[in-house]
Amino acid sequence: MSALIRGIGTLLSLEGAWKKSGRFVQTEDLGLISKAALLMDQGRLLWVGPEKKLKSALANLPRQYQKVTREWDVQGKTVLPGWIDGHTHLVYGGQRWDEFELRCQGVSYQEIARQGGGILSTVKATRAATKQSLKEISQKRVDEFLRQGVTTLEIKSGYALDLKGEIKQLEVARSLEGPQIITTFLGAHAKPPEFETHESYLQFLSEKVLPQIQKKKLADRVDIFIEKNFFEGEMAKNYLRRAQDLGFSLVVHADQLSLSGGTQIAVELGALSADHVIQLGPVEIQRLAQSETVAMLLPLADLYMKCEYPPARELIDHGACVALATDYNPGSCPSMDLSLVGLLARLYMKMSLPEVIAAWTVGAAKALALRDRGSLLAGFRADLQVVDLDWRGLFYQTGTSPVTQAFVGGKSMPL
Ligand code: NIG
Ligand code: FE
């Protein structure tokens, strides 16, 4: 038994981009197949190719797959891998629109944080929120991502900064439905007021929190905000090493506001991704580009923060694997608009459209260490989107989603 999608105007398999590990992506790496079809079963792709070869492909499949039991004719639409958003802070309580108004009047993000606003105001609201209310509001946000074709969605904790609340955030994240959810423990997001120093808070996280997160299997990944006067240098490194010893993969919020060593630490410790990476010098660009650490770029946060955009062109030209993500959160990026992220990457970071498409698929899959998605190849997860738009029209118009259908693990999802 198998399920068939036919009538595909153009299918983008991303085969070449996948084989190149997301580096030096060109148009031909998009794996364009016109008049295509695909077969899937049990959430996996069985075959992808030109529709005229469907009959022979079916005949060549093992007997149990030869009977097509479900069929969709997408009538000339485009099919491509589902987007993967590898960096969000989606589970949070409260809002920060008042502080945004202040920022628009010229008060800086750092000044608001010093006055007890910023991340700490979201911490207060998230601690106070019930699990049920967090779940309801978070599910609505996840639905919004799915509507845009997101089939894998990363969610970080980091808005409770205590044992009970961080567990609550991760449990809520794990309970959300639609795209496949990947959770990351970001206890080291900011220092909560109960602790005198950043060092003593990291010690608490290492001794009391990380082992619990591991025991309860609430996340496989640990993230940290490395920044001058926040978590930095040896204390950050020691914390990440401790997480690594416990079996967690690493991620770093690196060099966002200032060049603070985050990228160097990420590369040295073999982190999956270094995120933001705005304030890089030539040495950091070279090291990151030549490593297996993905450069996770978040230009929509840069727009909201009115800061520079990351040196995407230099990173890509030096051979980096790049991912794009929203960084959706109530402070630095209260927007879930993937198309705007891609538009900014094209307009201000000189990324080509094939590079943007690969960054949202192959690059993001690599950043999440997911080897079975980001590309539509036989054996991969059937995570895909149907869009009513020529692929060349992607990340061109914003504000509306061209996605008409999304499949997550082979299942057609209500949008
Ligand atoms: O990725 N340090 C950064 N953390 C978030 C912002 C969180 C917030 O303002 O609530 C970021 O930009
Ligand atoms: Fe972030």
The domain that holds 64 is classified in CATH as: 2.30.40.10
Which is nearest to 165 in space by CA: 223, 247, 239, 91?
91
Q: Is 327 in the pocket of ligand 1 (CB under 6 A)?
A: yes
Ligand nearest to the CA of 88: 2
Say yes or no: 211 and 265 in one domain: yes
Residues 217 and 273 both lie in one domain: yes
Q: How much is the average pLDDT of 223-231?
A: 94
Structure confidence at residue 115 (pLDDT): 85
What's the 33 CA to ligand 1 centre distance in angstroms?
A: 40
What's the pLDDT tens digit per position in 244-275? 999 999 999 999 999 999 999 999 999 999 99
Q: What is the mean pLDDT of residues 100-110?
A: 92
Q: How confident is the model at residue 229 (pLDDT cuts 50, 70, 90)?
A: confident
Substitution site in 89, 90, 255 for ligand 1 pocket (most atoms within 8 Å of beta carbon)? 89
The CATH number given to whatever domain includes residue 176 is 3.20.20.140
Q: How confident is the model at residue 114 (pLDDT cuts 50, 70, 90)?
A: confident
Q: Does the reported pTM lie above 0.95?
A: yes
User: Which residue is associated with the tokens 């498409």?
Assistant: 357
Residue 163 is predicted with a pLDDT of 98
pLDDT tens-digit series, residues 372-402: 999 999 999 999 999 999 999 999 999 889 9
* Residue 224 pLDDT greater than 90, yes or no: yes
Residue the block writes with tokens 């105001």: 121
26 is in which domain, residue-wise?
2-82+374-413
Average pLDDT, the chain: 97
The number of domains in the chain is 2
Pair 353, 409 in one domain: no
User: DSSP characters for 49-69?
Assistant: EEGGGHHHHHHHS-GGG-SEE
* Helix intervals (H) in 148-281: 163-175, 198-204, 210-215, 233-245, 262-268
Mean pLDDT across the stretch 141-166? 98
Determine the pLDDT at residue 306: 93
Q: Are residues 378 and 363 in the same domain?
A: no
For residue 332 and ligand 1, the question of a CB distance below 6 A is answered with yes
Residues 343 and 389 in one domain: no
Regarding whether 101 and 178 lie in a shared domain, the answer is yes
246 and 305 belong to one structural domain? yes
Q: pLDDT over 70 for what percent of the chain?
A: 100
- What is the tens place of the pLDDT at every residue in 176-205? 999 999 999 999 999 999 999 999 999 999
Same domain, 106 and 18: no
pLDDT at 157 over 90: yes
Same domain, 337 and 395: no
| Whole-number pLDDT of residue 116 | 82
Q: Are residue 324 and residue 392 in the same domain, yes or no? A: no
Query: Does residue 20 sit in the same domain as residue 32?
Result: yes
Which residue minimizes the CA distance to atom 7 of ligand 1?
A: 331
Residues with Cβ < 8 Å from 214, sequence gap 6 or more? Answer: 246, 247, 248
With cut-offs at 50, 70 and 90, classify the pLDDT of residue 110. Answer: confident
Residue 325: HSE in the Cβ half-sphere, 13 Å Cα cutoff? 34
Q: In whole angstroms, give the CA distance from residue 89 to residue 96.
A: 14
Q: Are residues 52 and 130 in the same domain?
A: no
Residue 276's pLDDT band, with cuts at 50, 70 and 90, is: very high
Q: What angle do CA 280, 90, 323 make, to 5 degrees?
A: 35
Average pLDDT over residues 18-27: 98
